[in-house]
Chain A
Amino acid sequence: MKHHFLDQYSNLRSPVHALDPRVKIITLFSFLFFVIFTPITQAPKFALYGALVFSTILISRIPLEFVLKRSLVIVPFVLLVAIGLPFLGSGDAAGSYNISIFRITHSALLIFLNVLVKSWLCVLSMIVLTATTPFPKLLNGFQRLKLPKIFIMILSFMYRFIFIFIDEFGRMHRARDARAPSLGRIQHIKIVGCMIGTLFVRSYERGERVYTAMRSRGFNGEIKLTRELEFKRFDAFFFASFFSLLILILVVV
């Protein structure tokens, strides 16, 4: 079976895809910090941050539509903040928004803009990172950046098994749909529960089998990932230029 929920565009070819994952991770984190710590009142800075993200998206050749659709994940939280706005902040009403009951103050409006702009920019940049980097490469990057080994090992296991389990779920789904196409809600929950229960039993047994198989091949708790990353000249160039642009935005604008 094919799985498109992960690594859909991460095997395209572009300068952004070719970057060392460590460089991408560090660049992303510095971008996040710049965005989070910039006061929302400095609008031009945010426009330039946005320009930076969108030009990276353009270079990476990921379809813009995909990125924008993906970025909708922040909507529920934006709505939650929006309904609280009339009750937030003090001070003068923001001009045109002064409608008798719904008196939205200037400071409340700033709070709203703050979460909207910052969360959107952050989400966009995260999408660029993951859409241009295959999962194993990204893990390798995190490993070289000294993320605790146990998590790297658990996650690489997870990545290997997730597809098997999703296929297994797919088969159970088909079996259910073939035998009981229309179910009430309670029945549905019961069946889903049984499916998850079955999957737990199978995955536990699989975990045991995998462990014995690894043990018999000399596993002693250490996983050695040998694929080396190489730091190219372009990586240094990319990071240096991206970071100096961020500094420029901070200082000049």
Chain B
Amino acid sequence: MHIPDGFLSVEVWASLWVVAILILVVAVWRTNKKLGDRHVPLLGVLAAFIFAAQMLNVPVAGGTSGHMLGGVLIAVFVGPMAGSIVMGSIFGVQAVFFQDGGITTMGANIINMGLIGTILGYFIYQSVKKAVKGDKGMIIGAGVAAWIAVVLASAACAFELAASGTSPLGIALPAMVGIHAIIGVVEAAITIAVIKSVLKTRADLLKLPKI
């Protein structure tokens, strides 16, 4: 759901760019304060990790395949702010180097597929984790958050298209949300599988300070 250039009206893409930049500025500032000079190598390596993870395709249905977004996953590991920087960098690279998404629409894409997962998704994950105790809460929370993040991302995309007058909401919303309700299940399943495997091997990495 990388929106290409030309699909959003000026008002929509410009305001989403402003919002994305504001959030990223706050994220950079907070991460800098907490991590100091450690953040650059760590975030760079994690960005490469998410990037590589996105290249692993999983069969979805009818010969199609999808890959994970990873916003919720990275936020569960290192926290919403550091996760936002990682996702912002990744979507920037995907737009510029792989033409997955446009330049003018980059703000919208960073918000939809990155920040909704890292910030809203992390919030959902935290609330579920509080309600359900132990490792189970962590696993359920991450799964639920991953599914909701994907569905919300597709809904946001539909709303942005509708606000730009390119596609009526009555068509775009059910089409996008319908497809992504299924894709979201895959995202949730992978996110859960990753967390389970890390819980088994290096559970301490899930207890890192969150930024």
Question: Could you list which residues of chain A lie within 8 angstroms of chain B, going by C-beta atoms?
Answer: 6, 29, 32, 35-37, 70-71, 73-74, 77, 80-81, 83-84, 87-88, 111, 114-115, 117-119, 121-123, 126-127, 129-130, 135, 138, 148, 150-151, 153-162, 164-166, 168-169, 185-186, 188-190, 192-201, 203-204, 206-208, 210-211, 214-215, 219-221, 223
What A residues does B182 contact at CB under 8 A?
Answer: none
20 inter-chain pairs at a CB distance below 8 angstroms, sorted by A residue, are A32-B103, A36-B10, A73-B2, A73-B4, A77-B7, A80-B172, A111-B165, A119-B5, A122-B102, A127-B99, A130-B97, A150-B40, A154-B86, A155-B89, A157-B40, A166-B55, A189-B189, A189-B193, A196-B53, A199-B53
> Which secondary structure dominates where chain A touches chain B?
helix
Q: What distance in Å separates the Cβ of B56 from its nearest Cβ neighbour in chain A?
A: 6
Asked if B103 and A154 sit within 8 Å, CB to CB, the answer is: no
Cβ distance B170 to chain A, nearest Cβ, rounded Å = 7
The answer to whether the Cβ of B192 comes within 8 Å of any Cβ in the partner chain is yes
> Which residues of A are found within 8 Å of B172, using beta-carbon distances?
80, 84
When each residue 38-72 of chain B gets 1 if its CB lies under 8 Å from chain A and 0 otherwise, what string results?
10111111111101110110110000000010000
Chain B contacts to A: CB under 8 angstroms: 2-7, 10, 28, 32, 36-38, 40-49, 51-53, 55-56, 58-59, 68, 73, 77, 85-86, 88-90, 92-93, 95-100, 102-104, 161, 165-168, 170-172, 175-176, 186, 189-198, 201-202, 205
- Which residues in B have their C-beta under 8 angstroms from that of A188? 58-59
Tell me whether A165 and B28 are in contact (CB under 8 A): no
Closest to A169 in B: B52
Contact A77 B4 (CB under 8 A): yes
Contacts A87-B171, A122-B6, A157-B44 hold; do A80 and B161 have CB atoms under 8 A apart? yes
Contact present for B166 and A111 (CB under 8 Å): yes
- Chain A positions within 8 Å of B165 at CB level: 88, 111
CB-defined contacts of A215 to chain B, threshold 8 Å: 37
Q: Which residue of B lies closest to A204 (CB)?
A: B205
Check A211 against B41 for contact (C-beta < 8 Å).
Answer: yes
Report the nearest B residue to A72, measured CB to CB: B99
CA distance A127 to B44 in the complex (A): 25
Known contacts A73-B99, A84-B168, A122-B5; A151/B89 CB under 8 A? yes
Closest partner residue, chain B, to A221 (CB atom): B37
Closest to B103 in A: A32
Contact A221 B99 (CB under 8 A): no
Most buried by B among A80, A121, A153, A165: A80
Cβ contacts under 8 Å, A221 to chain B:
36-37, 40
Residue of B40, B59, B77, B190 touching A154 (CB-CB under 8 A): B40
How far is the CB of B181 from the nearest CB of chain A, in Å? Answer: 16
Q: Which of A36, A135, A161, A214 contacts B97 (CB 8 A)?
A: A135
Nearest CB of chain A from residue B24's CB, rounded to whole Å: 9
Chain A residues positioned under 8 Å from B95 (CB to CB)? 126
Q: Nearest chain B CB to A141's CB is how many angstroms away?
A: 11
In the assembled complex, the Cα of A22 lies from the Cα of B140 at a distance in Å of 47
What chain A residues lie within 8 Å of B88 (beta carbons)?
A: 151
Assess the B6–A158 pair: CB atoms within 8 A.
Answer: no
Partner of B175, one of A70, A83, A189: A83
Q: Which of A156, A168, A195 contacts B44 (CB 8 A)?
A: A156
Of chain B, the residue at the smallest CB distance from A220 is: B37
Residues A154 and B47 in contact, CB atoms below 8 Å apart: yes
Q: Which residues of A contact B167 (CB under 8 A)?
A: 80-81, 84, 88
Contact A84–B37 (Cβ < 8 Å): no
Given contacts A115-B6, A155-B47, 7 further A-B contacts (CB under 8 A): A70-B99, A155-B93, A158-B44, A194-B193, A197-B195, A207-B41, A221-B40
A207–B161 Cα gap in the complex (Å)?
39
Contacts of A115 in B (CB 8 A): 6-7, 166
- Chain A residue numbers with a CB within 8 Å of B3 are 77
Q: Once bound together, how far apart are the Cα atoms of A138 and B176, in whole Å?
A: 34
Indicate if the CB atoms of A195 and B47 lie closer than 8 Å: no
CA distance A129 to B32 in the complex (A): 32
- With both beta carbons as reference points, the residue of chain A lying nearest to B28 in the complex is identified as A150
Structural contact, A189 and B46, CB atoms closer than 8 A: no
Cα-based distance from A70 to B176 in the complex (angstroms):
23
- In the A-B complex, the 5 residue pairs with the closest CB atoms: A193-B193, A157-B44, A118-B6, A197-B197, A221-B37
